[in-house]
Structure 1
Amino acid sequence: MDERAPIAERAQAPETLPEITAGDLRWRPATVDDAPQLTVLTNTMAEADGAPFRETEEETREELGAEWRDLEHDSLLGFEADGRLVASALVATFPGDTSTVRAFAFGGVHPDRRGEGIGREVLAWQLARARQILAASGKELPGRIGAYAEDDDPVSKHRLFLHAGLEPRRYYSDLKRPLTGDAPPIPEVELAPPLRLVPFSPEVDEATRLAHNDAFRDHWGSEPQTAEQWTNGRSEFAPEWSFVVVDDEPDVDALVAAPSTDAGTRAALEAGAPLVVAYALNSRYEADFPVRGYSFGYTGVLGTRRAYRGRKAALAALAASMRAFADAGMEAAVLDVDTENPSGAHGLYASLGYVKEHGSTMYSIEL
């Protein structure tokens, strides 16, 4: 397919979605009220597949309730005759996409009902719906249909993606850094003024979002986050463990005039808002503690504005985070990293004592 063709052409969207007949299940769209049953299904699948995580009902509710989510058209739940939920499908999109328009497939089948062809038909429905979404997006951009698989997932899941035409595109590492016992000391990082480390607070939240969008502009697969995306899904967020670095004396005139400064940052600077240049935002996933066998703080987003790289700002935020984890009695620090991260983050984490525990693969169809 010609990559210069309109997205409506490249997506090759079907007029109707394929029917799911395998397993003789009753199908309907999800609602936020399905969060309790869906959480049970998700965690049952995770346990069977040896996944290193579990979901809380609140996390599921947040995912289903995102204000841009169109559950009526982009989700399906499969029930047995007695009402037990045994299969789920969600096609997730992101309103902030500006360089690649994306649709990701999430879901699965209860371990008791695998081997009946349900998963294959569910994925076919998801891919067809993803093509419809991309075709209707009106965004004349490259398109991507994606799905994730943990390295420990059954081989059949990886084969299912390959058979459906998705290709392994990106690899991620789940890293752990011990904080107790004979763990190396957490580094002391001094910042040269006018850079200053401060605890995260609502007053710097929007400035942190702008910093994140700038920091990840050159990262493969990353797209700007809208304000709604940025604040969604924070049920496990630990602001008391999170830190940002601000520039107390930014050269506002130079930054406003620089072609590389995004419109959001430019407007914020002109309005006198603080300039966040690095950040480490962390969460406390207590439901995962017994699964992993240790308590930990999780660094969900970490980055530095591109103009401030090389000044140890993100390292200072990460070190402060690790110290906060340790002070709270956590046994380890955990984070995920793209193995081809352009900022060289993988090497930095290794130097700090992080080692790989798990991995995952993103499969995709590029349009």
Structure 2
Amino acid sequence: MSELRWMHLNKDVVQPWAELTNLLAKVDGTEEYYEPEDLAEELEETGMDPAQDTWTVWDGDRLVAFGQLRVGFTTQEDDTVRCQLDGGVHPDWRRRGIGRELMDKMEQRARDLNQERNPGLPGTLRAGGGLEGSSARSMLHARGYEEARYFILMERPMPGDPLEVDGEEFASPTVEDEEAVRIAHNAAFEDHWGTAPMTPERWHDFYAGRPMRPQFSSISRRDDGAVDAYVLISQYLDDELYVDLVGTIREARGTGLASRAMARSIELARGAEGIKVLGLDVDSESPTGATRVYERLGFVEKHVTAAMTRPL
């Protein structure tokens, strides 16, 4: 591998980074597409140090592989810190040991960073295993990772059939709602697998990020400003919208609040010019039975991917 150059991600390489990311999304069937501007924002996330937490591999002037590491600031429901490993290798450069070396570097950095950031707290390595039979899943198995959860990509064609919506109990989120929605999100997801409370700083990265589309999002806001339920929509492609987060605080579950909020967001999306698809990923073992709700709203399963983990 002496002919390859190892460097790090930076804003000067977001275009080839996006091109490789989108090629992998197509070739590996995950359909996780990104614009260069969205990837550039990832380099400025709270806690991200591109010079230590990212890697690139170049063959001449061609980007052939990349890696990203994110280590959490709070513990998940199992009292471990999530250490998320992302990346990929161009199909033409696979089976040359690049992926193995990338994983070695990311795992070692995860150990060092978690010890520095969260002294004494155990960590869990997590990586996307892709579709059944993928090369990523085979490689992760060989490194001791196991399937921990399955996530279903569901899509609703747009515009699709209209839904009856009583929109008076909902509003589109504003800048002023940021903290209230964060509090609601942390409460709603405290019993969900693989999630940890979002700090105000990390939440701001997401809530104020370029992909966020508040005009299609919905929240149920009380008179005192507290939020009981929310649907947050993002956009990564010109003709698609994506449901990033849906949640209801435990006290409001069973009231149909999230379902009605989702229906409102669907109706808002139906009126958007050029939008062909509304997508979302749902935990196949969601404690709220979310899959059934989405099916009633017109979503259909497209494929299933695996989240794979290993103790740090």
Bigger CA radius of gyration: 1
Determine the structure 1 residue equivalent to 2:102: 122
Displacement of 1:184 = 4.5
C-alpha contact (below 8 Å) 2:65/2:90 kept by paired residues: yes
The residue type paired with residue 163 of structure 2 is: I
1:211 is paired with a residue whose SS is helix
Aligned positions of 1:258-273 closer than 5 A = none
Displacement of 1:282 = 0.5
CA distance in 1, matches of 2:167, 2:37: 38
Q: Work out whether 1:166 is the aligned partner of 2:145.
A: yes
CA distance in 2, matches of 1:245, 1:350: 22
Match of 1:350 among 262, 277, 295: 295
Determine the structure 2 residue equivalent to 1:286: 237
Displacement of 1:139 = 4.2
C-alpha contact (below 8 Å) 1:170/1:363 kept by paired residues: yes
- Residues 25-34 or 104-113, more deviating: 25-34
C-alpha contact (below 8 Å) 2:73/2:118 kept by paired residues: no
Match of 2:226 among 275, 300, 308: 275
Determine the structure 2 residue equivalent to 1:79: 58
Displacement of 1:136 = 3.0
CA distance in 2, matches of 1:305, 1:354: 23
The residue type paired with residue 74 of structure 1 is: D
Match of 1:331 among 257, 276, 281: 276
Q: Work out whether 1:201 is the aligned partner of 2:146.
A: no
CA distance in 2, matches of 1:140, 1:308: 36
Identity %: 33
Instruction: Figure out how many residues of one structure are paired with residues of the other and give that number.
Output: 307
| Change in CA separation of 1:49 and 1:332 when aligned onto 2, cut-off 3 Å | closer
1:95 is paired with a residue whose SS is strand
CA distance in 1, matches of 2:38, 2:264: 26
1:94 is paired with a residue whose SS is strand
Q: Work out whether 1:29 is the aligned partner of 2:8.
A: yes
Q: Work out whether 1:188 is the aligned partner of 2:181.
A: no
Q: Which is strand-richer, 1 or 2?
A: 2
The residue type paired with residue 303 of structure 1 is: G
C-alpha contact (below 8 Å) 2:125/2:309 kept by paired residues: yes
C-alpha contact (below 8 Å) 1:215/1:305 kept by paired residues: yes
C-alpha contact (below 8 Å) 2:233/2:243 kept by paired residues: yes
Determine the structure 2 residue equivalent to 1:317: 261
The residue type paired with residue 126 of structure 1 is: M
Q: Work out whether 1:40 is the aligned partner of 2:40.
A: no
Determine the structure 1 residue equivalent to 2:211: 236
| Change in CA separation of 1:138 and 1:198 when aligned onto 2, cut-off 3 Å | closer
CA distance in 2, matches of 1:312, 1:238: 23
C-alpha contact (below 8 Å) 1:76/1:89 kept by paired residues: yes
Displacement of 1:173 = 0.4
Displacement of 1:349 = 1.4
CA distance in 1, matches of 2:90, 2:2: 11
Match of 1:175 among 148, 151, 154: 154
Match of 1:300 among 244, 261, 265: 244
Determine the structure 1 residue equivalent to 2:87: 107
- Structure 1 residue runs of 5 or longer lacking an equivalent are 1-21, 249-272, 288-294
TM-score, normalised by the number of residues in structure 2: 0.90
- Residues 317-326 or 128-137, more deviating: 128-137
| Change in CA separation of 1:39 and 1:184 when aligned onto 2, cut-off 3 Å | closer
TM-score, normalised by the number of residues in structure 1: 0.78
The residue type paired with residue 205 of structure 1 is: E
- Structure 2 residue runs of 5 or longer lacking an equivalent are none
Q: Work out whether 1:55 is the aligned partner of 2:34.
A: yes
Displacement of 1:315 = 1.5
